[in-house]
Amino acid sequence: MAISCSDSQPPKANSQQRYILTFRSPNVTPECKHLIILAAKKLKGSEHRAFIAEVAEQLCFGSPRLTETEFNFGRHTVELGMHEKRTGLICYGNYVSQGKPKAEVANPQLEQDIRSLVDPESQADPQLRNTFSYARITASAVRKKLIDEKGWQEELLPKERTFCNMLNRMGYKLHKVQKTTPEKKSRKPMPSLKTSNK
């Protein structure tokens, strides 16, 4: 795939001239530069890196630094894209291990204490429509009980909104518990009164 937005193709350079040419700006119009940057933002992951690697090779003489200067693409991302194109191997980031673990995963004792407080205040769906337990206790009340009854320090506990998410992940729904209501018996149809024709 060749990309050309300039009026003329860049001159062929040998290894000695290549070093000098990397400091020259590519002959790209501002409109075309804006279009390339916009197109790169629409792509994600390996497709994004493949695109900016092609831009670097076709318009910036294969220089990641010049590509960064002209198009504001990260130099290391350009280098990775060019490496992927050269080797044919796609690099995948281990984003799962890099993220912040959920509070109940990072601290299993917190989950146990929450369940010990919420289980007595919850019940299953009366109509068995789902597997959630409907809790009669709010997230703020759970947080307060952890401090008062379980001895947790307030600064070590997540905020109330995080508690709502945690309780949902643990299978609790913070809804008002509805008692089962017996089905109403339908009245028997009354025989219609026969009217005499006069």
Over residues 118-127, the pLDDT tens digits come to 888 776 666 6
Label residue 91 by pLDDT band (50, 70, 90).
confident
Instruction: Check whether residue 20 and residue 76 sit in a common domain.
Output: yes
DSSP state of 156: G
Q: For 23-57, what is each residue's pLDDT tens digit? A: 456 788 889 999 999 999 999 999 999 999 999 99
Residue 113 sits in the same domain as residue 166: yes
Q: Are residues 110 and 164 in the same domain?
A: yes
First and final C-alpha spacing in the chain: 96
Number of domain units in the chain:
2
Mean pLDDT of 52-75: 92
Residues 128 and 71 in one domain: no
- According to DSSP, the β-strands at 133-135 and 172-173 are parallel
Domain range for 23: 15-87
Give CA–CA dist 20/14, Å, rounded: 10
Q: Is the pLDDT of residue 181 over 90?
A: no
78 and 107 in a common domain: no
d(CA 49, CA 51) in angstroms, rounded, equals 5
123, part of any domain:
yes
User: What residues contact 183, with CB distance under 8 A and at least 6 apart?
Assistant: none
Beta bridge partners of 124: 133
Does 133 map to a domain? Answer: yes
Q: In this predicted structure, which of 46-55, 74-83, 111-120, 165-174 has the lowest mean pLDDT? A: 165-174
Domain membership flag for residue 33: yes
Domain endpoint, select from 87, 114, 149: 87
Same domain, 79 and 118: no
